[in-house]
Amino acid sequence: MFTQEVIRHQQQDYPDSMREQEERVAGIIIGTHKPCLILTEHPPLYTVGTSGREGDILSREIDGESIAVFASGRGGEVTYHGPGQLVMYVLADLRNDPDLHQHVHRLEEMVILTLADFGIEGVRSQRGIGVWVKGNKIAAVGVRCRKWITFHGIALNINPNLRHFSGIVPCGMRDAPVTSIHAEGVMVSRDEVEVRLLPHAAALFPGPGG
């Protein structure tokens, strides 16, 4: 699937990213676009999912830096995006395999396998969707689905400003500390993470009929 098209942005404003996904999902539905993987980063912002609450945003300013807030339309609660975090939007066609739970499982597995390549043990947790390392969340998952075409995806912390997470109740859990690849002692770049990620994405998300 992702050998066909991988779209990469160094950084992208969140509204522009949402427009890009909406346009591509519409194209996949009518057959003018193929499923794809979008790799990007965003300026600092908090996104509110369909289960999120305004009260989960504790502060819109951290260390003198203003952080924007957007309603995302994805499933889940409140999460943070910012520089140093690799956001992976997976636009997948599930019309031949309409199982959203399995899709989320694959998203988590993509991150778990990528982390393992760097010697980090990522796991699932009964506490919630996403990937965790030693009880700390390293990747958030949020998915939206339209006519069995998925969008949104995973945000993997490589080296973001972890203090920015203090402005929210991440994923609705007040006692859910976060971590990053760098915080786990592995000093890799985004490029190095992408090189490991893409083969796992290709294996886990075959194209229609694959």
Catalytic entry in 171, 178, 198, 202: 171
The closest alpha carbon to 72, from 142, 13, 131, 174, belongs to 142
The answer to whether the beta carbons of residues 143 and 152 sit under 8 Å apart is: yes
Nearest-angstrom CA–CA distance, 115 and 160 = 16
Bridge partners of residue 194, in order along the sequence: none
User: At 176, which amino acid appears?
Assistant: A
For the question of residue 171 being annotated catalytic, the response is yes
Nearest 5°: CA angle at 67, between 127 and 182?
Answer: 55
Residue 208 in tokens: 């229609």
Residues designated catalytic:
171
